Homo-oligomer: A and B are copies of this chain.
Amino acid sequence: MGQNYKIIIEYDGTNYSGWQIQKNTRETIQQKLEDALTKINKQKVKVIGAGRTDAGVHAAGQTANFFLDVDIPAEKIPLALNSELPADIICKKAEKVSADFHSRYDARGKKYRYRILNSNFNSVFVRNFVYNVHKKLDVKLMQTAAKIFEGCHDFAAFCAAGSSVGSTVRHIYSLNLYAADNGEIWIDVIGNGFLYNMIRILAGTLIETGLKKRTLFELKNVLESCDRNNAGFTAPAQGLTLIEVFYD
């Protein structure tokens, strides 16, 4: 079975069809990692990711694990891997872990950030990593609204229609909004797990609140309705970044 390695990776998802390997494209993060690792290992390597980020979604701290037949010191893995990977995927750290470590099953929680650029004009420097909202957002209102979603709730209203997942109950440990000087607004979400498109629908709903298209009172009803039709739009993938995956 070989040695199990855990890695932390950063990627710019702009030019990828998401994390997961797909039939019709080789342009997935998982595929690029498996290609690079198979070269290093000289035998096929399967990579397990903590979370399947969608097309266009980025990661600053995605976590993955894989088994190698060759025994390589953990500290050599990032350099070896980065020399085979395209420039928009970077391995930051690697460590040897026990054979039973599984990056997805063992994950205790994840932190995502949704970046909004609230500005008349986009910025060429961050345009691939933010969603540019032109009209002025009421950040204070959004900060109050965010608190409604903290805690353990049935988030069925914030799950992409048509996805079947069993229970739609999830625990959001914290949902915080930060406004930076440069016009960026960050929506930071930490939770035990997320439904399909959940953070992007939460972001879209909070943006509609910040534009005063929705009242705080309404938001509680949206959550309780468990009906996707009542929540806001799905904010674009490019604004979303997986920041960190938590383990025991």
Contacts and interface: CB of A to CB of B under 8 A. Distances in A.
Interface of A: 10-12, 58, 60, 78, 82, 87-92, 120-127, 129
A92 B78 contact: no
A129 B128 CA distance: 13
A143 to B, nearest CB: 24
Contacts of A60: 125
B78 A122 contact: no
A60, A78, A90, A126 — which one has the most chain B CB atoms within 10 A of its CB? A90
B121 A125 contact: no
Contacts of A58: 124-125
Contacts of A11: 124
Contact of A90 (B10, B78, B91, B121): B121
A-B CB proximity, top 8 nearest: A12-B124, A10-B124, A88-B124, A90-B121, A92-B121, A90-B124, A11-B124, A125-B129
Contacts of A123: 10, 90
Contact of A124 (B89, B122, B124, B125): B89
Contact of A12 (B10, B78, B121, B125): B125
Given A12-B125, A87-B124, A92-B121, 19 more contacts: A10-B123, A10-B124, A10-B125, A11-B124, A12-B124, A58-B124, A60-B125, A78-B121, A82-B121, A87-B122, A88-B124, A88-B127, A89-B124, A90-B122, A90-B123, A90-B124, A91-B121, A125-B126, A125-B129
